[in-house]
Amino acid sequence: RKEVEQDPGPFNVPEGATVAFNCTYSNSASQSFFWYRQDCRKEPKLLMSVYSSGNEDGRFTAQLNRASQYISLLIRDSKLSDSATYLCVVNNRGGSYIPTFGRGTSLIVHP
């Protein structure tokens, strides 16, 4: 089992739709979690950190479920500009916090 797994998609949704992605991780000692966004051929950029209590930033909501070892990203009222690849990142403990990336989930928002 890969350490961090994501459904590669693509998720093809109309503008205005709500879409959710999940990401599962295998290391129960993982300590910090992030969602990054990557546009085609560009560098990844932080979308949001994921906190234990869940957090929201505008149309984006991130959740952490430690018991089931997954994190989720919910996008409401999708925009064309949300089309991108969304990367899940998990940092493992041991004092090292080595980031491990999922392969990414592709989102295509169409008119």
Cβ 77 to other proteins, closest distance in Å?
26
* CA dihedral sign, ordered 13, 44, 93, 8: positive
Nearer to other proteins among residue 30 and residue 83 (C-beta):
30
Nearer to other proteins among residue 7 and residue 17 (C-beta):
7
Q: Please give the span between the terminal C-alpha atoms of the chain, in angstroms, as a whole number.
A: 37
Nearer to other proteins among residue 42 and residue 79 (C-beta):
42
Give the separation between CA 77 and CA 70, rounded to whole angstroms. 23
Cβ 107 to other proteins, closest distance in Å?
15
User: Site residues (CB under 8 A) for other proteins?
Assistant: 8, 31-32, 34, 36, 41-46, 49, 87, 89, 91, 96-104
40 alpha carbon, distance to own chain's centre:
16
Cβ 33 to other proteins, closest distance in Å?
10
Cβ 14 to other proteins, closest distance in Å?
26
Give the separation between CA 26 and CA 61, rounded to whole angstroms. 22
Find, among 73, 70, 72, 88, the residue nearest to 27 by Cα: 70
